[in-house]
Amino acid sequence: MLVARVTLLVHGLAAAAWFSLMPGGFAWGDARFWLNEALPVLAVAAVVLGLVALHRRGVGTGRTILAAVASVWLGVALCARVVFPVSGGWLAVLIAVVAAAVLVATRTARVVLVSLCIAGGAVGPWLERADDASTRPLDIAAPEGALPGSAVQVSCGALTLRLDPMLKFQSTSPDRGWSLFSRAADSPAGVLAISRDGGETGLEAFTTLDHDVYSHLNHFTRIDISGRHDLRVGFSATPGFITRVEPSDYPVGRPLRFAYLGAEGSLHVVEASSAEKGPFRELASGEMDGGTLELTLYDGEQAQCSIALDTFAAQAGLVLSPTAGWGVPVNAIELLRDGDEAAIIVSLAGTSIGRGWDTVGHRAGAYVNRLRVRRR
């Protein structure tokens, strides 16, 4: 039966593509190990067995296979419509209608098989739904006289910094789904207090979320750097280690360097294998000294200024990222360079590292971003 053979081949190729494109490096107890690694292998094995059975047994087996495939997709679509009412939308309805039509056309009487396949398909969307938000807002009220939040330009020796300390979301999902299927935007307003004392500039930004926000891309702090010649960065948690900010590519190519705060309380500086994707090679690690993380910016070997992130560690999400894999959490400090452009992007919880468009949450509450820039 040609239709059954083509259906199996398409699904086998799709399973192989899913295996190669989705992130790996998850423990066997993690749902994403089964979704991204085990399930595609099982699916390819099922395709091979199905093709063999078709060759030996003919039309009746072909109808059974089509009924099973349609039932799985019917379960996926029905569950997705419930779990992702916004981002699933009419696509889930369309898939459900097509799957139901194919199922009726097969005229199968295998109720147990159909029921099991529908139930199996329904598991997928539930497992793809983002976990509860893991960030930890400080819930401190903004001071009187704080102004509407905006980016601030600060001198850093031979460098010039444009600091944006406001919590901003670029790619969100209203129902914890993939941001790829949502055009939602969620831009909370915030306020900023600025202080200057000799050679130190202090920024204190306050942003309140009245509900949990799930996003793919966002930033807690963005630092755009100009005037640099040989930009390097040192971290207070890894004394003696200084890394160049090198160009990286996307979606594959030159690797990105970034740092993250692990669940055990240590800072890890790592380099991706290709672009921003794992496995990740550790360059340095060290214990955090108190709650403050200090970044020192260098032009070559000459320190220009330091930037103290006083509240990043206290509010960062520490759960594992669904897109990074390999033990990397949702928080990140990305070191970016593209030609003459350089930036440091700090996220409390995001999925810019790794593969996919999964979203992760910022818990409702008041976030405080306290930065101190000091010339060296």
Each residue of 351-365: pLDDT tens digit?
999 999 999 999 999
The pLDDT assigned to 176 comes to 94
Residue where a domain terminates, one of 128, 162, 193: 128
Q: How far, in Å, are 123, 128, 187, 249, 350 from residue 35 at the CA level?
A: 10, 9, 32, 27, 20
Query: Coil, strand or helix: which one is 162?
Result: strand
60 and 188 belong to one structural domain: no
Residues 114 and 58 in one domain: yes
For residue 217, what pLDDT is reported?
94
Per the structure, the complete domain to which residue 50 belongs is given by: 2-128
Phi-psi map region of 273: left, alpha, beta (phi>0 left; psi -120 to 50 alpha): alpha
- The last residue of one of the domains, among 65, 97, 128, is 128
Q: What is the 3-state secondary structure (H, E, C) of 4-73?
A: HHHHHHHHHHHHHHHHHHCCCCCCCCCHHHHHHHHHHHHHHHHHHHHHHHHHHHCHHHHHHHHHHHHHHH
* Domain annotation covers residue 280: yes
**48/190 same-domain check:** no
Nearest one of 11, 87, 20 to 49, comparing CA atoms: 11
Whether pTM > 0.85 for this model: the answer is yes
**DSSP three-state, residue 286:** strand
Amino acid identity, residue 256? Answer: L
Is residue 177 located within the same domain as residue 322?
A: yes
Identify whether residues 260 and 338 lie together within a single domain: yes
Share of the chain above pLDDT 90, in %: 68
Convert the pLDDT of each residue in 276-313 to its tens digit. 999 999 999 999 877 899 999 999 999 999 999 999 99
Q: How many domains does the chain have?
A: 2
Residues 175 and 228 in one domain: yes
pLDDT of 54 over the 80 cut: no
Give the pLDDT confidence of 95-128 residue by residue, as tens digits: 999 999 988 888 776 789 889 999 999 999 999 9
The answer on 121 and 84 residing in a single domain is yes
